[in-house]
Amino acid sequence: MANAPKTKKTKAPQYVAPESAADLSHLSPRQRLEQTEFLMSAPTFKLCPADTGYEVAFAGRSNAGKSSAINVLTNQRQLARSSKTPGRTQMINFFSIGNEEARLVDLPGYGYAAVPEKMKLVWQKELEEYLVSRESLAGLVLLMDSRHPLKFFDEQMLHWAKDGELPVHVLLTKSDKFKYGPAKNILLQTKRELEKLDLPFSIQLFSSLKKEGVDELAEVMGRWLRIDGQSTAE
């Protein structure tokens, strides 16, 4: 991935909830996320919805379990659909969380070897344009298979996020593949690696199969999306 500019993004205008959204204020972040609905798909950055409110984007390698994580987080089995051929879905998918000014964004998977190089370059350009230019982007959830964390493209994404002052929360997915002790060791080892790389981002274990780590992720997203009843725009 090409180096991104090291300039801080302009903050999107603070969102003021309409009266129709007021009845959602009593919900916890996890309950609010269960109100998520498909909004639209954009084949290019220019066709994304209006750049207002707040968005949290999900990114990761094509086999990191992104669709499963979104479905478990929102308590909806078929909300995010994974392609039968990993790496073939190139749409930017937007989901509204109770209203259209709080959104979850499912970015195309990256780094899958079977995708033609020309297609990879096209996707990379659109991904970079979204990450660099999207003013409503409040944070990035970066998913990594806990069996193979911090691959090349993962590190590239993390370094870009640090340069752009974009908050990141790392999900080590498929933690159910390990017993409790080994899973915790992987978490600690990955934390140390992030510290060595000077990448001070939050990180957690996550299992879509066992639905573990959902509350922790929901709390992070609640703060970023200002749906936790406490956060305010900077």
Give the model confidence (pLDDT) of 44-53 as tens digits: 889 999 999 9
pLDDT of 48 reads 95
Q: Which amino acid is present at 73?
A: L
pLDDT of 233 reads 43
Mean pLDDT along residues 215-224: 97
pLDDT of 47 reads 94
pLDDT of 10 reads 53
Write down the pTM of the prediction.
Answer: 0.85
Instruction: Give whole-number Cα distances, 82 to 64, 89, 161, 164, 225, in Å.
Output: 11, 8, 25, 29, 25
pLDDT digits (tens, 9 = 90+) for 84-105: 555 445 789 999 998 999 999 9
pLDDT digits (tens, 9 = 90+) for 196-205: 999 999 999 9
The percentage of residues in the chain with a pLDDT greater than 70, rounded to a whole number, is 82
Three-state DSSP at 159 gives helix
- pLDDT bracket for residue 131 (50, 70, 90): confident
Ordered by where they begin, the domains of the chain are: 24-225 (3.40.50.300)
Secondary structure element (H or E) that encloses residue 190, with its range: helix 180-196
Q: How many CA atoms lie within 13 A of 125 on its CB side?
A: 8
Structural contact between residues 168 and 155, judged by C-beta atoms closer than 8 angstroms: no
143: closest CA among 121, 113, 110?
110
